[in-house]
Amino acid sequence: MRKLYLFSLPFFFIILSNIGAESIFENVTKQIEANTKSYVLKNGLRLILVQRKESPTVAIYTKFLVGSVDEIPSQSGTAHLLEHMLFKGTPNVGTKDYSKEKKYQEQIEYWGSQLDKLRLEKRNLESKSLPISDTLQSKIDTLAKRIKILQEYQNEFIIKNEDSYIYEQNGEVGFNAYTTSDVTNYQIQLPSNRLVIWAMMESDRLKNPVLREYYTERDVVIEERRMRTENSGASLLRERFLAVAGESHPYRMPVIGYPSVIPFLDIADTKKFFKDHYHPGNMVITIVGDLEFNETEQLVREFFETIPQGPKKKEIKPVEIQSKGEKRFTVEFPSGESMLMGWLKPTLPHVDNSVFDILDGILGRGPSSRLYKRLVLETNLCSAVNASNSFPGERFTNYFLISIRNNKGADLSKIESIIWEEIEKISKEGVPDKEIQKVKNGNIADFFRYMDSNEAMADTFGYYELLTGDWKTLFRVYENMNKVSSTDLQRVAKQYLKRNRVTIGTLKDSRLNVEDASNE
């Protein structure tokens, strides 16, 4: 018998209309739970195993509760840089002979730190318009040459991307990683009979990381920031939004890091950051696919249970107090124009978070949403509209965000007025049940579609386990969404989406100023 979450979507909607979303959802969650087991190893590592026999493969997601929110300003970008560095290998992988390579690695680390100190001294002098002595510049040049020579010697021993090559020879798909404000994730899909290769590789990566090519990889991240953030008006707008909206909020910290900090990220600090956050009590491994519970559990215990238990730290973060009065800012960049409007709100598992999961569908998810109809179809003021809940993460209070891409010459005040009209209409009149149910059905359909993927399931279960302490929170979130009523939407719109609580950021095309000046 085929599982419900493997139904084709047209067939699913026939069932949905005849039986009802809640009944189907309840049956499927029971089936998923019956095929899922979770464990806690002696060192605190959490393991989630989901048995799905559809193909002889497994998706493996390893998550750590560490992201940009765990950084202080002088470490900005460390979590993301560390993600890059963990692909550089160990004494066993990525080297021809680590016993010979090690001396160059140690010297590069030492002299690299010394060079950073001198470069920072130079920058501080430049910031005060003070002269740079010939002696200081000479020391900088000498150390830069020394490090370059040491790197050339070390390169004779480095085997670049050896971990990727090993995985490729064993049939990998999707070997990758990502860092967010909240978490860092490492992922791969493999034939199920190659799971032991993963266990050997990844336990070695956690036990014995070698941060080789640190300074060259740091330069790669600098260039990544330049390309993805500084050359993107939309990215600059979102980064500025978080800085303006949150006066003391952990989400102020950009994942990629501050441009003034990345060039000076210290390797010793990065190693300490690894020890503080990459430990068993701070991680979840989720494996989904063709597996046997007992065998897989024993395999994970064999390779990962010997990793030392890390430091237990209480998570103490500043609490953002919503100040009264709107906040506005403008970013100028040579690109198409856009606008963001956002409000601070609770995160999961707060019941109001689930109300916002419905509200974003009502206001700005898809062509049938209210703002899309008004701003794109009826007035042609915008080319795109979107509403999203929980920006940019869910570990802390976050933002309900409305983003629009306005057409050239569009009246922003008119756009903003329409958005407020729709918000106030909900706060005064509520939302018809039929419209609410349509959004709920769409959310449930997305859930079924998502659960038809080993990798999506591994990603999601690990995420909820890490953030809430229980992967089943995923089901409770959907259950709460299904309970949302018109009264809830009305209350939330009144309570949170106020004019004196909003942050509004606009991206202005700087080329228009040049055109205007030339026409005068």
Return the number of other C-beta atoms located less than 10 Å from residue 359's C-beta: 28
Each residue's pLDDT tens digit, 213-258: 999 999 999 999 999 999 999 999 999 999 999 988 999 999 999 9
Each residue's pLDDT tens digit, 166-222: 999 999 999 999 999 999 999 999 999 999 999 999 999 999 999 999 999 999 999
Q: Among positive and negative, which fits the CA dihedral 339, 345, 346, 351? A: negative
21 or 261: which leads in pLDDT: 261
pLDDT confidence of residue 21: 56
| CATH (residue range 327-519) | 3.30.830.10
Strand order in the sheet with 184-191: 36-40, 46-51, 283-289, 57-64, 184-191, 173-179
Mean pLDDT of 465-492: 94
What CA–CA distance (Å, rounded) separates 111 from 124?
A: 20
| The domain defined by 35-83+170-321 carries CATH number 3.30.830.10 | yes
Residue 401 above 70 pLDDT?
yes
pLDDT confidence of residue 513: 61
Q: How confident is the model at residue 285 (pLDDT cuts 50, 70, 90)?
A: very high
Residue 344 above 70 pLDDT?
yes
pLDDT confidence of residue 436: 95
Residue 151 above 80 pLDDT?
yes
pLDDT confidence of residue 17: 47
Residue 13 above 70 pLDDT?
no
For residue 373, give Cα distances in angstroms to 368, 388, 418: 7, 17, 11
pLDDT confidence of residue 319: 73
Residue 22 above 90 pLDDT?
no
Each residue's pLDDT tens digit, 287-313: 999 999 999 999 999 999 999 988 777
pLDDT confidence of residue 313: 72
Check: pTM over 0.85? Answer yes or no.
yes
- Determine the distance from the C-alpha atom of residue 35 to the mean position of all C-alpha atoms in its chain, rounded to a whole number: 28
Residue 317 above 80 pLDDT?
no
pLDDT confidence of residue 29: 82
- Determine the distance from the C-alpha atom of residue 243 to the mean position of all C-alpha atoms in its chain, rounded to a whole number: 17
Angle between helices 134-155 and 214-225 (to 10 degrees): 110
pLDDT confidence of residue 12: 43
Strand order in the sheet with 327-333: 327-333, 503-509, 338-345, 398-406, 382-391
Tokens 């124009």 map to which residue? 337
Q: How confident is the model at residue 448 (pLDDT cuts 50, 70, 90)?
A: confident
Whether the CB-CB separation of 117 and 124 falls below 8 Å is answered with: no
pLDDT confidence of residue 337: 94
- Determine the distance from the C-alpha atom of residue 205 to the mean position of all C-alpha atoms in its chain, rounded to a whole number: 22
